[in-house]
Structure 1
Amino acid sequence: MTAAGEEQIDIVIAWVDGDDPQLKQKRARYQKTINAASDAVSSTRFASNDEIYYNIASIIKYVPFCRYIYIVTDGQKPQLIDDFAKQGICAEDKIRIVDHKEIFAGYEQFLPTFNTRSIESMLWNISGLSDYFIYMNDDFFFNQPAAISDFFDADNMVIYGHWRKNALLQAKLKYRQSLQKLSGKPVQPKHTIAQMLSAKILGMNQFFEIHHYPHIVDKNLLKDHFLRHPQLLNTQIQYKFRNVAQVNPITLMNHLKIQQNDACLKPPIPINYLKNENGVEDFITNLHNESIKYGCIQSMDLLEVSPYQHITTAMVQKFADYLPSSLLLDSGQ
Structure 2
Amino acid sequence: MNFDVVYTWVNGSDQEYVKTRDAHANIKKDTNPERFRDAFQMIRYSLRSLEKYFNIFNKVYILTARPQVPDWLDLNNERIELVHHDQVIPDRYLPTFNSNVIESFLHKIPGLSTNFLYMNDDFLFGAPVSLQSFYKDDKYRIFNTLFGENLRWRIYDGYQDLIGLGIIEHQPIMINKHYWEEAYALFPEKTKKTRQSKFRDDRNLCAYKLYRYHMLENHTGESDPVWITELNKIFRFHKLTNNFSKQQAFFDEMKKNSPEFYCLNDDLRDKPNPKVVKIIKEFLDQKYPKPSSFEKQG
Query: Contact 1:74–1:99 (CA<8 Å) still a contact in 2?
Result: yes
- Taking structure 2 as the reference length, the TM-score comes to 0.83
Map 1:139-158 → 2, pairs under 5 A? 139-158=122-141
Whether 1:126 aligns to 2:109 is yes
Give the residue type in structure 2 aligned to 1:304.
Answer: N
For residues 220-253 of structure 1, the C-alpha deviation after alignment (integer angstroms, 9 at most, x for no partner) is: 1121343575434322211000112211122211
Structure 1 residue 165, shift from structure 2 partner: 8.5
Q: Given residue 288 of structure 2, which amino acid in structure 1 is its aligned partner? A: F
Are positions 1:79 and 2:71 aligned together? yes
Question: TM-score, normalised to structure 1's length?
Answer: 0.75
1:114 partner SS:
coil
Q: Of 257, 262, 266, which residue of structure 1 is paired with 2:226?
A: 266
Question: What is the aligned partner in structure 2 of residue 62 from structure 1?
Answer: 53
d(CA) in 1 for partners of 2:44, 2:195: 28
CA offsets 1:62-82 (integer angstroms, 9 cap, x no match): 112221111111011111112
1:38-53 correspondence to structure 2 within 5 Å: 38-49=28-39, 50-53=41-44
Contact 1:194 1:248 survives alignment (8 Å): no
CA contact (8 A) 1:210 1:251 kept: no
Please tell me whether the aligned partners of residues 51 and 292 of structure 2 are also in contact (alpha carbons under 8 angstroms). Answer: no
One-letter identity of the residue aligned with 1:314? F
The 1-side partners of 2:287 and 2:54 are apart by: 15
Secondary structure of the residue aligned to 2:60 is strand
Aligned residue pairs total 279
Distance verdict in 2 for CA 1:18–1:53, change over 3 Å: same
CA RMSD of aligned residues (A): 3.1
Q: CA distance change for structure 1 residues 96 and 229 in 2, over 3 Å: closer, same or farther?
A: same
**What is the one-letter code of the residue matched to 1:240?**
K
Separation in 2 of the partners of 1:298 and 1:319?
18
Cα deviation per residue 1:94-125 (whole Å; 9 max; x = unaligned)? 22111000121xx2211000000010111010
Change (3 A) 1:227 1:265: closer
For residues 303 and 128 of structure 1, the distance between their equivalents in structure 2, rounded to whole angstroms, comes to 39
Aligned to 1:103: 88
1:159 maps to 2:142? yes
* Matching residue within 252, 271, 275 for 2:240: 275
The amino acid across from 2:8 in the alignment is: A
Residue 159 of structure 1 and its aligned partner are, at CA, apart by: 1.8
| Cα distance per residue 1:265-311 (max 9 Å; x no partner) | 12222405242143322332243355612222222684322221121
- Tell me the equivalent position of 1:185: none
SS of aligned partner of 2:70: coil
Q: Distance in 1 between matches of 2:195 and 2:203?
A: 11
Give 3-state SS (helix, strand or coil) of 2:124's partner. Answer: strand
User: Retained in 2: the 8 A contact 1:18–1:48?
Assistant: yes
Tell me what 1:316 maps to.
285
The structure with more helix, counted as a fraction of residues: 1
Tell me which structure has the larger Cα radius of gyration.
Answer: 1
